[in-house]
A and B are shown apart, each in its own frame.
Chain A
Amino acid sequence: MRERTTSLKIVVAVLVGGLAFAILLQTRDKADDDFSNVRSDELVELLKSLDAANQRLSRQITDLTKTRDSLLDSNKRTEAATDAARERADALAILAGTVPVVGPGITISIGDPIGGVDAAVLLDAIEELRNSGAETIVINGTARVVGRTYVVDGDDGIRVDGRVVKAPYVIEAIGDPGTLKEGSRIRGGLVDTVEKRGATVRIVESQRITVTALADSKAPEYARADS
């Protein structure tokens, strides 16, 4: 009888120990987060909610992709517009003489030993170079000729935009060298006129002429863009 009680007590101890062991096991097992002890209907619910979330996120992805695409598109268009505007600004700056330029062209040197060259001759020369397609003209390396340029006879020489230029005159013109040269040489043209006044003309073609002289840029006082 005594022995049986002891063995029963051991069984009780084993059971209690087993319970403690199982509780530890279970609480520890709960800690790692997996779905192996979730029931199937709970899993179905979970799956459904995940599905809904998935769909929502897919919609969001589509929306955001669309937004991104449109932003990229407008960005590209802005870039193109910026490029066009920059090109236009460059062209206008060259035209207005506010930037240094470089390019092929000709150099016309006019030696004037007897002072026969006056403002009219110089103006004619400029006009003829323009007719031949000169894009930039500069006289004596200092007077940049632009749309607003004026040429007058002064007491101390010819004034171009207020700057005094003196003989020998060196006119640099950027454009197609061949055309410019031909244009200067036509009968009754620049060379003829200048030589009639007792001056000498030398024309040199060049593949690279650098013009650093700038015209004074002045905002128009009366004219306004009408657009």
Chain B
Amino acid sequence: MIPIVGLVVGVALGLWFQPDVPESLRPYLPIAIIAALDAVVGALRALGERRFDDRVFVVSFTSNVLIAAFMVFLGDQLGVGSQLSTGVVVVLGIRIFANAAAIRRRIFHA
């Protein structure tokens, strides 16, 4: 229940303030969002399998975001920023699809 309240509050804040992305965060935010989405979809799958754990979610969410941002940072430093970003997005995308497929199988048995 509380997470849904958080979701609503986040959306409301985003719509209310409509802030600009800070300059220092601009390269990292898109990848961080993908990483966080991966964590969320994983959490949804765990919820469906009735083995969801708050602690695991918090840790995976945070570490996903941090690692994704770090990889983008590292890629930019190494001069392979765009390639590494693409790679991260692909890997996270595959994970999101795999989790979504698991959820789908559980709900529709297909």
Contact = CB atoms under 8 A, between A and B. Distances in A.
Interface of A: 5-6, 8-26, 28-29, 36-37, 39-42
A104 to B, nearest CB: 85
Contacts of B37: 19
A19 B2 contact: no
Interface SS of A by simple majority? helix
- Interface footprint category on B: 35 or more
A20 B27 CA distance: 18
A41 B78 CA distance: 13
Contacts of B36: 15, 18-19, 22
B110 interface: no
A8 B18 CA distance: 28
A21 B81 contact: no
Contacts, number: 94
Given A12-B3, A13-B3, A37-B27, A24 B21 contact: no
B10 A9 contact: no
Contacts of B18: 28
Contacts of A14: 6
B57 to A, nearest CB: 6
B61 A20 contact: no
A36 B21 CA distance: 11
Interface in B10-31: 10-11, 13-15, 18-21, 23, 26-27, 29-30
A29 B20 contact: yes
Contacts of B3: 9, 12-13, 16
A18 to B, nearest CB: 6
Given A23-B33, A25-B14, A37 B6 contact: no
Contacts of B14: 20-21, 23-25, 28
B10 A20 contact: yes
A26 B10 CA distance: 13
Contact of A24 (B15, B23, B30, B55): B15
B21 A16 contact: no
Given A19-B37, A24-B14, A25-B14, A8 B27 contact: no
A136 to B, nearest CB: 86
A26 B22 CA distance: 11
